[in-house]
Structure 1
């Protein structure tokens, strides 16, 4: 109980500070939910004492950092050999819009998972933060047939509780179906996955479909395609037939034998027997960003395609997102997409576009984009930053002062998010390095080098 209480207290402090900063509308239990998979002592262990150990309130009245001094601090750090042969960067003051530093600012660079910022903004601007995806069950053409229609909600849970908090569940849907059928026992389950089209595997490195970071992308799955729904972080085995696996779980809940489950399509005008709604889109965006969830990202890209009348495929999602970003008045010409997750090396984006998207989501009149901010991991605290900013030589002093989306592929490392300076200015920053040496140790060294850059910004008065 004492450990759990410590988690709640830490989460409460974080939530209060975020609300004061005007960045987030997270509830305390939301924060605790995101932290549930990690050790609850992680916020303190290994982090040097710091009276700004959580995100501070922004101080827009503080002086804007001097661009020349920012450049003087960052240039040698961005030249760190650990960042490899190609580094681009952009830093902008959020409140004023003043550019404080740039290095190849408008040069499209491989972003890895930092591209999820683009996916988040595209989805939220297309649908709004309160949109929910619906999984339905309808009566089939044959007597006793129930058709399960995938709604593209990959957070759907196969059990009463699963990988994602606040998820819709198959048990809930099954109970609705039983009630709608009355005393009639279902005899067959057909599953309809027509909401998404095209290949289920993206234009990725050959090992990605099997290394546990993503599942085949289809319109019906449970728990993000995980074999074990209890594993909420990092790589984990994924089922190879997510739709069939979900349909089998649904059939079992209805008492239908596995042999009576088949793929098909729902008849036109079929009677609805039940429906369950996903958690709000804003919540899915937060979960996608904080843990870099590739399956959520790919599903959201397809939903943007649906909204814009394009095929719900990798290609259609990429085209739709580029159009959606362009409609925000941002330079979509600096953006090339092949997927929504960043697993593809065909993605290219300029650091200035990423930083401008982050800054846009911080604007008071962009409430619909607020969950871009609330989903960014906090340095040394949660998500993909849980184990970063804890080394004295790699940014430990900036613990809690940085919120960034991370991006990592072989030879690629990047960050995009916000940094609070010593004076309380909020800076939007993106740094992309796509010429990092291959291998595990160079990747970790590149991450440390990026953390030192962000820590320098956090410590900077630079007046």
Structure 2
């Protein structure tokens, strides 16, 4: 609970009394017409607001706003926490429920992306190579195999963060064959992707199947997850013989297909195998271009006796910094989960979510993260079993300001009123001054990051709301209102 200090000025007492007197609506239950009222946020009239600002400090206004919101019909029955923190003085300016573990939603990506940047470096790139074995005769026939060697590139063929399309990569590969004088392949196209053997795993518990009306289909099995809790409805598709099973979200009344249904609400899904798609598209394009391939596309996870090979071409992914920028700006779940698996592989040699969680939590512990209240279940924040406290978020973000990659990390965050998932927030006050990661799940809205004040200070904040009433737009308005006075600190 925010504690008010005693105001010396009698005018300050009068102004705050007038302000709180107008908050008697705390006994009113939430209704759909609430936000249509002229004074929807129970703020003072313009006259009293001017008087109030004349006698109250910015800090006092922040505290008053927080206390007012505790009685707001949208928030009064919610569980929420707030901290605004001064990184220079290392002191909390204002807070409410700062040590309460809350569901962070996609602000979880703050931990995932920072761990990747810290351990791998912002210039890290994934490589996808085309190689060949055997020899090329005078007629341009390769008597050997082509190899596509992947490294777990999460952006492969997606066009995300400036990544090349499959078509562009294939064109580059064919150019490499031309440089080597290869006009026919008397052999197979082999996919060497041992990194991907962990693609089918147990999903984190309490995974949310719908986020902002967009489906996210994780790789793995739903075994052990209670479909009733996850709003998962499995039905058999009698109308499509190719697509046998699907699940339906009651939130959007839409469906998405699963690969396999094992009964009793258990679905098995998998992400598209990017290297396999690349290899098959490559073979098809070669044949259409007049370069025949006698063999087939086949995977080879491990190779006890590898053939001697020569590299023809190598495709480099965008930098990790570019991918993290895209991940945080667009709140991209699949990229965040891939980053989790990548740090797991780099540190533990195992490209699974389980290893990734061990690496991330280990890194946070070594970095002095306040682990009390932390439950890190996935890389993206889709699991409702994720928990973190507002105070640990702000202290973590504060610690990053001394890192050499802080500028890149800050740049990756959406900017209020200007970019990414914050483009539609802070279009008035705070425009261009709030740099933060958003988070949205059903009845969960979160925001954490940095705030540039009107006086040029940088403050750090965390604001997480769970189980609110009304719409997400209503919560956004309250969040903006809570943060607005902090701009004048």
| TM-score, length basis structure 1 | 0.70
Counterpart-to-counterpart distance in 1, 2:143 and 2:377:
43
Q: 1:165 aligns with which of 148, 162, 184?
A: 162
Q: Please give the per-residue CA displacement for 1:313-362, whole angstroms capped at 9, x wherever unaligned.
A: 12221121111111112223442211101111121111122212322233
Q: Which residue does 1:433 correspond to in 2?
A: 465
Q: Please give the per-residue CA displacement for 1:18-54, whole angstroms capped at 9, x wherever unaligned.
A: xxxxxxxxxxxxxxxxxxxxxxxxxxxxxxxxxxxxx
What SS does the corresponding residue of 1:299 show, helix, strand or coil?
helix
Structure 2 CA distance for partners of 1:319 and 1:270, relative to 1, 3 Å: farther
User: Which moves more between the two structures, 398-407 or 111-120?
Assistant: 398-407
Q: Which residue does 1:449 correspond to in 2?
A: 478
Residue 377 in structure 1 maps to residue 406 in structure 2: no
Q: Is the 8 Å Cα contact of residues 331 and 353 (structure 1) preserved in structure 2?
A: yes
Q: 5+ residue gaps in structure 1? A: 1-64, 219-234, 391-395
Note the C-alpha offset of 1:368: 2.1
Q: 5+ residue gaps in structure 2? A: 1-56, 135-141, 221-253, 258-269
Counterpart-to-counterpart distance in 1, 2:317 and 2:411:
19
Q: 2:391 aligns with which of 336, 352, 359?
A: 352
Kindly tell me the number of residue pairs found equivalent between the two proteins.
367
Q: Please give the per-residue CA displacement for 1:167-190, whole angstroms capped at 9, x wherever unaligned.
A: 585236514641465325335333
Q: 1:100 aligns with which of 83, 93, 97?
A: 93
Q: Which residue does 1:305 correspond to in 2?
A: 344
Q: Please give the per-residue CA displacement for 1:350-401, whole angstroms capped at 9, x wherever unaligned.
A: 11222123222333xx1223322001111111111122234xxxxx222222
Q: Please give the per-residue CA displacement for 1:193-227, whole angstroms capped at 9, x wherever unaligned.
A: 32141436843546349964545559xxxxxxxxx
Q: Please give the per-residue CA displacement for 1:140-164, whole angstroms capped at 9, x wherever unaligned.
A: 6995432323222122236xxx343
Q: Is the 8 Å Cα contact of residues 209 and 216 (structure 1) preserved in structure 2?
A: no
Residue 252 in structure 1 maps to residue 284 in structure 2: yes
Residue 388 in structure 1 maps to residue 387 in structure 2: no
Residue 279 in structure 1 maps to residue 298 in structure 2: no
Q: Which residue does 1:199 correspond to in 2?
A: 200
Q: Which residue does 2:115 correspond to in 1?
A: 122
Q: Is the 8 Å Cα contact of residues 161 and 318 (structure 2) preserved in structure 1?
A: no
What SS does the corresponding residue of 1:99 show, helix, strand or coil?
strand
Q: Please give the per-residue CA displacement for 1:257-315, whole angstroms capped at 9, x wherever unaligned.
A: 79933333363365233322222211111111111111111111111112221532122
Q: Please give the per-residue CA displacement for 1:89-115, whole angstroms capped at 9, x wherever unaligned.
A: 222113332221222223321111011
Structure 2 CA distance for partners of 1:183 and 1:415, relative to 1, 3 Å: same
Q: Is the 8 Å Cα contact of residues 129 and 369 (structure 1) preserved in structure 2?
A: no
Q: Is the 8 Å Cα contact of residues 403 and 418 (structure 1) preserved in structure 2?
A: yes
Q: Is the 8 Å Cα contact of residues 297 and 341 (structure 1) preserved in structure 2?
A: yes
Q: Is the 8 Å Cα contact of residues 161 and 322 (structure 2) preserved in structure 1?
A: no
Question: Who wins on radius of gyration, i.e. which is larger?
Answer: 2
Q: Which residue does 1:40 correspond to in 2?
A: none
What SS does the corresponding residue of 1:195 show, helix, strand or coil?
helix
Counterpart-to-counterpart distance in 2, 1:401 and 1:210:
25
Q: Which residue does 2:14 correspond to in 1?
A: none
Q: Which residue does 1:174 correspond to in 2?
A: 173
Counterpart-to-counterpart distance in 2, 1:200 and 1:381:
38
Q: Which residue does 2:129 correspond to in 1?
A: 136
User: Which moves more between the two structures, 449-458 or 408-417?
Assistant: 449-458
What SS does the corresponding residue of 2:314 show, helix, strand or coil?
strand
Structure 2 CA distance for partners of 1:209 and 1:252, relative to 1, 3 Å: farther
Structure 2 CA distance for partners of 1:69 and 1:386, relative to 1, 3 Å: closer
Q: Is the 8 Å Cα contact of residues 289 and 405 (structure 1) preserved in structure 2?
A: yes
Q: Is the 8 Å Cα contact of residues 137 and 147 (structure 1) preserved in structure 2?
A: yes
Structure 2 CA distance for partners of 1:80 and 1:146, relative to 1, 3 Å: farther
Counterpart-to-counterpart distance in 2, 1:376 and 1:79:
31
| TM-score, length basis structure 2 | 0.67
Structure 2 CA distance for partners of 1:90 and 1:290, relative to 1, 3 Å: same
Q: Is the 8 Å Cα contact of residues 199 and 219 (structure 2) preserved in structure 1?
A: no
Counterpart-to-counterpart distance in 2, 1:403 and 1:252:
46
Structure 2 CA distance for partners of 1:156 and 1:331, relative to 1, 3 Å: same
Note the C-alpha offset of 1:66: 7.2
Counterpart-to-counterpart distance in 2, 1:213 and 1:258:
40
Q: Which residue does 2:354 correspond to in 1?
A: 315
Structure 2 CA distance for partners of 1:445 and 1:171, relative to 1, 3 Å: same
